[in-house]
Structure 1
Amino acid sequence: MAVTAAASSPSSAASSAGTDRKMLANNFDEFLLLLTTQLKNQNPLEPLNTNEFTQQLVQFASVEQQIKSNDTLGSLLTATKASTATNALGFVGAEIRADGATTRLSGGRAEWNLSAPKAASRATLAVRDASGATVYSETRSLAAGSQSFVWDGRTSSGATAPVGDYTLSVTASDLAGAAVNVSTEIVGTVDAVDLTGSSPLLAIGSVRVPVENVKSMRKPSI
């Protein structure tokens, strides 16, 4: 099971919260010093407005409460991220189907699922390599609904394409010549989980798939 460690840690959030608390404590001490100084030096004939002092204290207490709330929210976010990462590990070794156009050619096979809202009398399927060059294309008709397209790794010239990541694009139209928007999904086995970002990414070779893009998952039978 391969897991890429997260780049950030809860310690950074804790350090930031600790700095906020320290600054708040220092400001509170300064506030009390100013308050007592004003009280000592007030003019007996024109006493200080107690309502104003009370309002200042309430505002300061609100800031303190907000910082405490931020600390609580930070802890909840850290716990949620840890739970999400743990759940993502359950995808390792499973075959998934997810939104996407780039998948891995391995063992002479790359597979995509196509979904057409209506039948397309003419559809051009182009497979491009990592540099964007078209290595294979074909024209066919597509039925309405879901269907699969499996590429055997043979280029248009008959050569064998090297193992790597390939992207499929589909341009389709119906009998009247109107464009048909065909969506693509990738199929592959998850071999690692990348936890370096803000949310886990499932790795199929060098292809990264956000967890929220997964449509279905199938564990291999034992």
Structure 2
Amino acid sequence: MAVSGVSGSSSTSSSTSSSSTSTIAGNFDQFLLLLTTQLKNQSPLDPMDTNQFTEQLVQFAGVEQQLKTNDTLSSLLSLSAASTATNAVGFIGATITADGATTRLANGAASWKLNASTAGTATVTIKDANGNVVQTMTRSLVAGDQTLNWDGSTSIGSAAPDGQYTVSVDGRSVAGEAITVKTQISGVVDGVDFTSSIPALKIGGISVPIDQVKSVVRGE
């Protein structure tokens, strides 16, 4: 199993927030000192406009409250990220089904799950990791879920090597109109990648964003 890409961004954000809070606190103290000094030395015959000082006090209080809110949100985000990471690691060893068109051919076997909006026929194209077409076939479609199995044979009759292959399905109804055919893949999770904002579950060399997972079956 593999877990990669965990960073220390939360500590950086915390130090930045603390620095901002210290700065605003220092500025607020300086403002209060200046205000007190001016009030002590104002002319009784020409007093200063207290409304302006009151407005500035309100603005400083608003900024201070916003900084506290930001600190709270940062803490919540850190807790959420930690929870997501823990949940993602929990997928290791489980068999998942997820949206996707790329799966692995191993020992002459690969499969995809298809979901057709209506019955019809489909032209299925399978490409290798370099984008080269290795097989084109036609098959009947039923409305709903079904499985597409491939034995690794190519269009010229040879056996394709093990590796990653991507399928595309051009579905047509009996009347010849285009129909929607969704593709899904399945496999056992053997690692988690945290280098992106959304953790990716690893099935061999295939990355599956965790938000694309549709079902999970855990081993005994």
Q: With structure 2 as the length reference, what TM-score do the two structures score?
A: 0.93
2:196 is paired with a residue of what secondary structure? coil
Q: RMSD between aligned alpha carbons?
A: 1.6
Aligned equivalent of 1:161: 160
1:78 aligns with 2:39: no
Tell me by how many angstroms 1:148 deviates: 0.5
* Alpha-carbon separation, structure 1, partners of 2:43 and 2:206: 74
Alpha-carbon shift at residue 205 of structure 1 (Å): 1.6
Structure 1 window deviating more from structure 2 (22-31 vs 182-191): it is: 22-31
The AA in structure 2 aligned to 1:207 is I
> Corresponding residue for 1:141?
140
1:8–1:196 CA contact under 8 A, matched in 2: no
Counterpart in the other structure of 1:180: 179
Give, in whole Å, the separation in 2 of the partners of 1:187 and 1:109. 13
Q: What is the DSSP-based 3-state SS (H/G/I as helix, E as strand, rest coil) of the residue aligned with 1:132?
A: coil
Give the superposition deviation at 1:94.
1.1
Amino acid at match of 2:130: S
Aligned to 1:18: 18
Distance 1:61 1:203 in 2: 48
In 2, the alpha carbon distance for the partners of 1:32 and 1:15 equals: 26
Residues 1-150 of structure 1 correspond to what in structure 2 (within 5 A)? 1-120=1-120, 122-150=121-149
Residue deviations 1:1-56 (CA, integer Å, cap 9, x gap):
32113134311111211221122123223322432343244333221122221221
Is contact 1:129–1:165 with CA below 8 Å preserved after alignment? yes
What secondary structure, in the 3-state scheme, does the structure 1 residue paired with 2:136 have?
Answer: strand
Structure 2 residue 206 is matched with structure 1 residue 218: no
Secondary structure in structure 1 of the residue aligned to 2:90? helix
Return 5+ residue gaps in structure 2 as ranges: none
Residue 209 of structure 1: aligned partner:
208
Aligned-partner Cα distance in 1 for 2:107–2:166: 17
Q: What's the CA shift string for 1:174-204, capped at 9, x where partnerless?
A: 1211101100001111110112222211111
In the TM superposition, structure 1's runs of 4+ consecutive aligned residues that sit over 6 Å from their partners are: none
CA 16–107 in structure 1, closer or farther in 2 if over 3 Å, else same: farther
Gap change, CA 1:186 and 1:62, over 3 Å in 2: same
Gap regions ≥5 residues in structure 1: none
**What amino acid does structure 1 have at the position aligned with 2:113?**
N
CA contact (8 A) 1:126 1:134 kept: yes
Aligned-residue sequence identity (percent) comes to 55
Which segment drifts farther, 177-186 or 25-34?
A: 25-34
SS at match of 2:43: coil
Kindly tell me: are residues 7 and 107 of structure 1, through their superposed partners in 2, closer, same or farther at Cα, counting changes over 3 Å?
farther
CA distance in 1, matches of 2:132, 2:194: 31
Structure 1-normalised TM-score?
A: 0.92
What is the letter of the counterpart of residue 138 of structure 2?
T
